[in-house]
């Protein structure tokens, strides 16, 4: 692996990073979850790949759906209530946790209202595309403890490409709804994604220059080096410490991509009702919010992989650390939702094209120069 080491010496693991990351650091093959499953079942060849892939995908998808079910109906309310000095749900089950079941029954049992003049099947496909694109992105994310579906050479590129499919669903929802507010919301979504996806990818490219690879497992492994030792405490070489400016840029652009405050203007209720999802109800409404929260966790996973050492961390298993980092990002989004005011659409676009783009290009050039000098 062509990673750039900032400090010479023997690599020092930051904690219990999984065996796959260790193999990647050594240049060896990474054992993916489907390979582990097919080996445990005694299957080989195409049949083993198919069975292992299906079981592995089912497992990863259910982990993410379980986290989303906890985050949407329950954690979001509890966190927002804590920020605004309220109580939130506490009557339905212990700690209000059964609100998850209650909300699921309530929303799924509602009538699916199809407005006149909608363009089907585009109207039906739009809410399916959003959660699908987010779940597809997790196919290449190393969750730790051997939980990684695939590890292609262009893994991080695949993750960004999969996440960007959501833009297609937003356009389809707005156009097919035969509603002016929905169309406005979808157009705002595309304008926002164009303005912030370019800085997002450019900032990620600066990390790739440091790591020397597009493979997600190797990007994680490149951060197992010790950056500096202070008073006997080893500071890991996470790229958030190596290049904090890039970390802040990526965090801001990521907030715009997932549509959280102050960048939630495509569905601003004070201006365009609910934007692209105005005409959706019942199970389709659930799918939209499911996709939104899975994308939040995918954004947290990308931040963890690119800047926070992925599943690396002391004492606890790698998977636990990865979950902690994704939930930390979710907590940050909810804090922004409660504390940061929404910007106008013209301000949002201006920040993206005139601010974030210029800063991300400057960061990429400076990183290239720095890597060239060190190399």
Beta carbons of 151 and 221 less than 8 angstroms apart: no
Label residues 32-70 b or e (16+ Cβ within 10 Å = b): bbbbbbbeeeeeeeeebeeebbebbbeebbebbeebbbb
- Determine if the peptide bond prior to 107 is cis (ω within 30°): no
pTM listed for this prediction = 0.87
Task: Please state at what angle helix 318-339 crosses helix 282-307, rounded to 10 degrees.
Answer: 120
Report d(CA 316, CA 321) in Å as an integer: 7
293-342 pLDDT, tens digit each: 999 999 999 999 999 999 988 889 999 999 999 999 999 998 888 888 88
pLDDT digits (tens, 9 = 90+) for 94-106: 888 999 999 889 8
pLDDT digits (tens, 9 = 90+) for 50-94: 999 999 999 999 999 999 999 988 998 899 898 888 888 888 888
Percent of the chain with pLDDT over 70: 90
Domain ranges (residues) in the chain:
111-374
pLDDT confidence tier of residue 6, bands split at 50, 70 and 90 = very low
């Amino acid at each position: 692996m062509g990673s750039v080491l900032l400090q010479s010496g023997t690599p020092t693991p930051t904690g219990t990073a999984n065996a796959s990351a260790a193999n990647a650091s050594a240049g060896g093959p990474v054992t993916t979850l489907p390979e582990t499953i097919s080996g445990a079942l005694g299957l080989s060849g195409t049949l083993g790949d198919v069975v292992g892939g299906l079981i592995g995908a089912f497992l990863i998808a259910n982990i993410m759906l379980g986290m989303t079910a906890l985050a949407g109906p329950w954690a979001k309310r509890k966190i927002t209530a804590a920020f605004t000095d309220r109580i939130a749900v506490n009557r339905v089950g212990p700690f209000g946790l059964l609100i998850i079941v209650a909300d699921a029954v309530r929303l799924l049992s509602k009538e699916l209202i199809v407005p006149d003049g909608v363009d089907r099947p585009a109207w039906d496909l739009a809410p399916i595309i959003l959660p699908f694109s987010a779940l597809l992105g997790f196919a290449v994310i190393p969750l730790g403890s051997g939980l990684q579906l695939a590890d292609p050479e262009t893994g991080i590129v695949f993750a960004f490409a999969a996440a960007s499919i959501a833009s297609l669903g937003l356009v389809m929802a707005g156009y097919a709804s035969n509603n002016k507010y929905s169309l406005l919301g979808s157009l705002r979504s595309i304008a926002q994604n164009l303005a912030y996806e370019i800085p997002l990818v450019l900032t990620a490219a600066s990390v790739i220059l440091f790591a020397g690879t597009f493979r997600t497992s190797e990007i994680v492994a490149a951060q197992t080096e010790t950056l500096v030792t202070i008073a006997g405490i080893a500071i890991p070489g996470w790229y958030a410490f190596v290049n904090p400016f890039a970390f802040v840029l990526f965090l801001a652009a990521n907030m715009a991509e997932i549509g959280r405050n102050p960048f939630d203007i495509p569905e601003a209720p004070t201006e365009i009702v609910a934007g692209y999802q105005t005409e959706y109800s019942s199970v389709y409404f659930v799918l939209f919010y499911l996709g939104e929260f899975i994308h939040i966790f995918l954004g947290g996973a990308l931040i963890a992989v690119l800047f926070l050492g992925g599943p690396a961390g002391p004492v606890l298993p790698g998977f636990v650390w990865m979950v902690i980092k994704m939930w930390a990002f979710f907590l940050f989004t909810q804090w922004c939702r409660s504390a940061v005011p929404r910007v106008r659409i013209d301000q949002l676009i201006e920040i993206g094209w005139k601010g974030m783009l210029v800063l991300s290009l400057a960061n990429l050039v400076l990183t290239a120069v720095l890597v060239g000098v060190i190399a």
